[in-house]
Structure 1
Amino acid sequence: MCAIESYPGKEEELKEFVENELSEMLVFYDDDRQNNLFGERGKNPKVLLNAHLDSVGSEEMGKNWMMEVVYDEKTDRIEGNGTRPIGADDRCGIAIILALLRFTNYQFKFLFTTSCEDEHRGVKFFIENHPEFFKGVNLVIGLDRRGFGDVVCNYGGKDVCFKKECIDKVIEIGKSLGIPAKKEKSPHIADIRYIADRFGISSFCLSVGYYNPHTPSEYAVLDEVVETYKWMCRILEFIQ
């Protein structure tokens, strides 16, 4: 996925890749005029997982788009050749959600948004045009945060998770897996902030193992992506 260019408003190729994955797994999904992808597995799932399809790429960096993505076994890093960001923000989040759909039977809704890096146009459109999708959802988890172990509950100075006991349990589960789980704040805004603001649904974001986002030196640590996947498995197991 990191080799696929997908900047805001031009997510079609990555969207097609994700659609093919969902179709292969026989997972129900739909899309809209903003190219958001959404669906659910199970009967009336209460949890929504979110990641975004777009990334800051060659257009924003003024670089040639041609690049190579490699995995370095010595460093356990997925990295590029320095011509542009590899888009691990937020391919790592997409990969975790797809893995949960492929390898587990947990019930949840999923939302792959577009144009997150362009004023969050995708999630704003989705909220206005698909409010019924959020019916019955009582927790939103964003898989969209740099580093490893962060549980982000505050964006732009505003709390988005209204259940302290939920966050305490998420951190407890992470630490039981050897993950350096900790509650964090972000001065920026994530897509989940708009969902929390509009519907009052408790939300938080987990780190997914990418570093130096939006720069040509961006990389992802494969083991941290995998460990976050395991973390999500335990979280969904607890919730359900």
Structure 2
Amino acid sequence: MTKTPVRSTSAQVGKPVSAAVKSVLLKNTRALKNMSAKTPFFYTAVPGVIWGATLEGVPFLLSDDAQYITDGEISVIENGQFIGLDESFERRKNQSVFATLNDSQLITYPATSPERAVIYVADDVNCPYCRRFHQQISMLNAKGVTVKIIGYPIYEQSPEQMRGIWCQDSESSRRHAFDKAMLQGEMTPTPASCNADHVTPNREKSRWTGSDSNACYLP
């Protein structure tokens, strides 16, 4: 152990640790092969306990002096009863993650009536459940729900197919190409001039919400 960070406060629950605290945690765990600069750390409601996740998205809990570590999540007990996951922490953590996403690389379907909610959806163009959900987007929009799509390829053929969609040069053309893929199964070829990867950055960030294909999140 090299140093113990300053203990967190209740106002920090669900927020990422500072760069300085992260640096200390990584130094204190430098012998663990699964720790890297990409490892996320968030404050929990339990004083002295930090939530983290491997690059594969497997959660773990770490003491804030990095002397103790265990796999698992934070759960809640109320009135002597086991309630389940700490939903307040999960919601705040997800809000922190969504705030870091590049909004210009989300495919957005805005509410067509006064907006009442925004949901984020992790989608793969080859996921059958994702395609079923896509058929409901216009209904959700009419009810005041804005839907933001995170490109989240999991099938082997999906990364290149989705790159073709995200490489379209405008939001409307990306949305049109995505609709064709989800509703008709027609994939849009990647423009020869596009060498960028507009999918991976948001995908890597959103995995800390526990994303899998066709996962929905209400911030």
Do they fold alike, i.e. is TM over 0.5?
Answer: no
TM-score, reference length from structure 1: 0.26
Which has the higher relative contact order, 1 or 2, with Cα contacts under 8 A spaced 6 or more apart?
A: 1
- Bigger radius of gyration: 2
